């Protein structure tokens, strides 16, 4: 497909660029509205991903629909890029049954709460598809802190050894709650870990959606063509609290946060597209409006659901439940 702005992103058409922009705005809108909904008591504790949109939208834009996404809680809303309804994700944060989607419906795995524990799943899925002759790629998201976990190590190493088509996307926001990157590693960069697995590792600006996409695109192509896994480190600096329950003032560099907010990724891409004449103020307003409508409809749909049936405690635990399951 021809691109009108090869200088921006070789291989991406204007339509692609606008869709990428729309996804970023959708994620941004989801996040900002969620913080409000939390304050209003309409959702529970919520893990804020403000200014992580370039990573999430950029990396996943390199995937096909048959490829799988393995999110952590930080990427809770990543299903939006696949068309998952906002209410589904809102219901997860509301602790409601319909928030627990069927991964096979979206090729988006369940939200992984235990840090790094989903990396071996991505490896197993990608390996298993490959063994069955399907050419799906798996993309797993995790943070800088996650790279300290044994299951990060085991999951990436398995993928390397098995030649599994996995793209490991590290969201290096330089904080694990209150723990700075300097307390997680002495490595020059987290991408340096790749050489220990004999796989390619790259570092990109996590606020530059096109840079993230380009790196992801290359990694996905490599994986698909049998080249095995890639580790992509997306560097930025967490500009929001870890979650709604967290008060970062005790530990974070507030000046740095101000700089980051000034340079936030959605506005940055928006300016780029406007300068390139791909995006107009009108179109931007329309996109924003559409995303707010999605959220308004989403929260309304979520809140209109009937209360969950306690019977659900038992419905899904086993295909073939033991006789004493209900005995508590």
Q: Which is nearer to Mg ion, 70 or 175 (CB)?
A: 175
Among 12, 25, 115, 137, binds ligand TPP (CB under 6 A): 115
Distance CA 71, CA 76 (A): 7
Among 199, 215, 240, 287, binds its own copies (CB under 8 A): 199
Distance CA 251, CA 175 (A): 10
**238: annotated active-site residue:** yes
Active-site position among 94, 222, 238, 268:
238
DSSP-derived 3-state class of residue 247: coil
Alpha helices in 40-149 (DSSP H): 53-60, 86-93, 103-106, 119-131
Name residues contacting other proteins, limited to 246-265 (CB under 8 A): 246, 250-251
Among 64, 95, 114, 277, binds ligand TPP (CB under 6 A): 114
DSSP-derived 3-state class of residue 166: strand
Report if residue 188 touches its own copies, rule: CB under 8 A.
Answer: yes
DSSP line for 281-328: HHHHHHHHHHHHHHHHHHHHHHHHSPPPPTTHHHHTS-SS--TTTT--
How would you class 135 by CB atoms within 10 Å of its CB: exposed for 0-12, middle for 13-18, buried for 19 or more? middle
Q: Determine the interface stretch with ligand TPP among 6-14, 83-91, 111-119, 186-194 (rule: CB under 6 A).
A: 111-119
**28: annotated active-site residue:** no
Task: Please report how close the Cβ of residue 201 comes to its own copies at its closest, in angstroms.
Answer: 9
Report if residue 153 touches its own copies, rule: CB under 8 A.
Answer: yes
Name residues contacting other proteins, limited to 186-245 (CB under 8 A): 245
Closest CA to 162 of 117, 190, 120: 120
Q: Which is nearer to Mg ion, 69 or 170 (CB)?
A: 170
Q: Which is nearer to Mg ion, 183 or 317 (CB)?
A: 183
Q: Which is nearer to other proteins, 181 or 232 (CB)?
A: 181
Active-site position among 22, 52, 94, 242:
242
Q: Determine the interface stretch with other proteins among 22-30, 31-39, 51-59, 314-322 (rule: CB under 8 A).
A: 314-322
In the numeric block, the tokens 């967490």 are attached to 238
Closest CA to 61 of 22, 104, 106, 114: 22
Among 73, 141, 237, 269, binds other proteins (CB under 8 A): 73
Active-site position among 39, 251, 256, 326:
251
Contact 61, 120 (CB under 8 A): no
Beta sheet of 138-143, edge-to-edge order = 68-70, 138-143, 166-172, 230-235, 201-205
Name residues contacting its own copies, limited to 55-84 (CB under 8 A): none
> Which residue, judged by CB position, is nearest to ligand TPP in the bound state?
143
Distance CA 20, CA 28 (A): 12
Among 46, 93, 101, 152, binds its own copies (CB under 8 A): 152
Q: Which residues bind its own copies (CB under 8 A)?
A: 148-154, 157, 160-161, 183-188, 192-199, 228
The catalytic residues are 238, 242, 251
């Amino acid at each position: 497909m021809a691109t009108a702005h090869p200088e921006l992103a070789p291989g991406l058409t204007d339509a692609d660029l606008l869709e990428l922009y729309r996804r970023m705005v959708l994620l941004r809108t989801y996040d900002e509205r969620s913080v409000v909904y939390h304050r209003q008591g309409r959702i529970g504790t919520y893990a804020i991903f403000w200014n992580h949109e370039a990573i999430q939208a950029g990396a996943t834009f390199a995937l096909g629909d048959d490829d799988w996404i393995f999110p952590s809680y930080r990427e809770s809303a990543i299903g939006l890029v696949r068309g998952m309804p906002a209410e589904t994700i809102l219901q997860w944060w509301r602790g409601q049954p319909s928030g627990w989607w069927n991964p096979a419906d979206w090729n988006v795995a369940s939200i992984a709460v235990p840090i790094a524990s989903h990396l071996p799943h991505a490896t197993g899925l990608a390996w298993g598809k490959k063994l069955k002759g399907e050419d799906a790629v798996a993309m797993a998201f995790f943070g800088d802190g996650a790279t300290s976990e044994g299951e990060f190590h085991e999951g990436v190493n398995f993928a390397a050894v098995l030649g599994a088509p996995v793209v490991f996307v590290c969201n290096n926001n330089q904080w694990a709650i209150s723990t700075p990157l300097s307390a997680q590693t002495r490595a020059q960069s987290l991408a340096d870990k790749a050489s220990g697995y004999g796989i390619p590792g790259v570092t990109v600006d996590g606020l530059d959606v096109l840079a993230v996409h380009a790196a992801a695109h290359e990694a996905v192509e490599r994986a698909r063509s049998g080249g095995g896994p890639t580790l992509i480190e997306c560097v930025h600096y967490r500009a929001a609290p870890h979650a709604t329950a967290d008060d970062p003032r005790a530990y974070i560099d507030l000046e740095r946060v101000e700089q980051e907010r000034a340079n936030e990724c959605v506005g940055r891409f928006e300016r780029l597209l406007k300068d390139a004449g791909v995006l107009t103020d009108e179109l931007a307003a329309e996109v924003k409006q559409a995303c707010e409508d999605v959220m308004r409809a989403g929260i309304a749909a979520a809140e209109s659901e009937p209360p969950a049936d306690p019977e659900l405690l038992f419905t899904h635990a086993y295909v073939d439940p033991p006789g004493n399951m209900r005995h508590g």
